[in-house]
Amino acid sequence: MENRRNILMDCDPGIDDAAALCVAAAHPEAFRILGISTVAGNQTIETVTENALRLTQFFGLDVPVAQGAKVPLTRPAKTAADIHGKNGLGDVEIPKTDRKAVSDNAVVFLRDQIMGLPKGERVTLVPTGPLTNIALLLKVFPEVRERVEEIVLMGGGACKGNVTPVSEFNIFADPEAASIVFESGLPVVMCGLDVTGKCGVDRETAKELAGSGKKIARAVGSMIQFYLNSPAYRNRPAAYVHDAATFLYLLHPEIFRGERMPVSVDCSDGITRGMTICDARPTRPEGEYHTLVLLDADEKKFLEYLVEAVHMLDARLDG
């Protein structure tokens, strides 16, 4: 247990956020989850915070949840209810909980969790939604920087988008915040659409999980089936479980391939708003590149490890 990573997850649950949290919960030998903060994204802040509270109980996690930013730094909020459903979890009903958020100020919560670590310990930040909270944390409390080991985020894309032809949802939702994070100089691992497009669950596997007699498998499978019936995936053989790539990268970096490169974010109001501009040119300026852009993954291994985590968590909770 001594080699566990300290983790703070910042999320907007979200079907794929739920799958990511499931992976983390299934591996207590690898992750010490210090807390979860929420940000408006896939649904409103009230909905995603309630989802985080329910999911922590459902997955057997005794960790604090703090409510975060309701809106981006400078722009109106944008949700993805058409992809994630009215409740944000594919309309799958996760049991209600009496748990309450420990704070309505996620930025202070994150600061306190980080600075409260024993001397010499650091934390890995895992943001799977818009980067509003993380940007505010780095700007308002710069003292946390020396305690952050790395930021492993889901967002962006080197070659494509999903909200626009060139912009991914999390970055598009708050490009100013994303720009602050990528320009922070901290080590960043970008799990963008280039790699998450290889991180999918096919229809047969989703059906098998949803038909399980075990509660975690049934819930995760049913959420992914909702994905598959949504406008984004209706005509595709598999649904991308984007956010799960973050924790599976931390568990199994050997199944991923990436390249270090400079990344900047387009914060304009034009057609390229939210684009993550990844400079892969052989002639790019020399320097230390702080961002590892993941570009490929072993699709079969990703699915194997994801399904394994779901069954592991069911077995642990049943035990």
Which residues are part of the catalytic machinery? 242
The single residue listed with the structure tokens 């992914």 is 224
- The neighbour count for residue 315, using CB atoms within 10 Å, is 12
Nearest CA-CA partner of 220 in 233, 206, 230 = 206
Residues 6+ apart with CB under 8 A from 249: 152, 189, 191, 256, 294
Give the Cα-Cα-Cα angle 144, 62, 177 (nearest 5 degrees): 35
- The neighbour count for residue 278, using CB atoms within 10 Å, is 23
β-pairing, 276-278 vs 263-265, is antiparallel
The two three-digit tokens of residue 245, written as one number: 């790539």
The two three-digit tokens of residue 273, written as one number: 């708003």
H helix runs in the chain, sequence order: 15-25, 45-58, 81-84, 106-115, 132-140, 169-173, 175-182, 193-196, 203-210, 215-229, 244-251, 299-318
Residues 6+ apart with CB under 8 A from 243: 11, 14, 16, 17, 19, 20, 128, 154
- The neighbour count for residue 115, using CB atoms within 10 Å, is 12
Give the Cα-Cα-Cα angle 93, 89, 159 (nearest 5 degrees): 165
Ramachandran quadrant class, 264 (left: phi over 0; alpha: psi -120 to 50; beta: rest): beta
The neighbouring-strand residues paired with 35 are: 8
Q: Give the orientation angle of helix 244-251 with respect to helix 15-25, to 10 degrees.
A: 30
